[in-house]
Amino acid sequence: MRASEMTGGRLPPEVIQYIVRQKYDRLRDCYENGLRENPDLQGHVATKFTIERDGTVSHVSNGGSNLPDQNALACMMSVFETMCFPPVENGIVTVTYPIFYAPESDDGG
């Protein structure tokens, strides 16, 4: 995860990561729905979002994803919209959060 811009605000990266990881199951559900249509679906998902002063999320967008399933991407963006962070010190924070998805291998690799 990288904070691409700190617009006067501060929120420790480990706090952002902790909150996002709490939603990994819902994010994974979005990906698995895409796998039903394309069993080889894989790619990098980068979600760009802004954490407002009160901890709510706004301005969720594609931050450079290459996952070729627009429905899965839209689903993941909607999960980020539901996240709630602690209040931000001194402003807002814009984050680009990358996650890589690939089908699990049947050969143990």
| Confidence (pLDDT) at 7 | 60
Amino acid identity at 38: N
**Residue-level pLDDT at 109:** 40
Domain ranges of the chain: 2-101
Enclosing H/E stretch for 62: strand 57-62
Residue 3: what pLDDT?
Answer: 43
Task: Decide: 95 and 3 in contact? Cβ < 8 Å.
Answer: yes
Distances in Å between the alpha carbon of 59 and those of 25, 63, 91, 94?
A: 22, 11, 15, 9
As a CATH number, domain 2-101 is: 3.30.1150
Q: Model's pTM, two decimal places?
A: 0.86
Supply the pLDDT for residue 9: 84
pLDDT value of residue 107: 43
| Nearest of 32, 47, 49 to residue 98 by alpha carbon | 47
Q: How many CB atoms lie within 10 A of CB 27?
A: 20
What is the C-alpha separation between 56 and 54, in angstroms, rounded?
Answer: 6
> Tens digits of per-residue pLDDT, 4-55?
454 678 899 999 999 999 999 999 999 999 999 999 999 999 999 999 999 9
Q: What is the pLDDT of residues 78-95, one digit of tens each?
A: 999 999 999 998 899 999
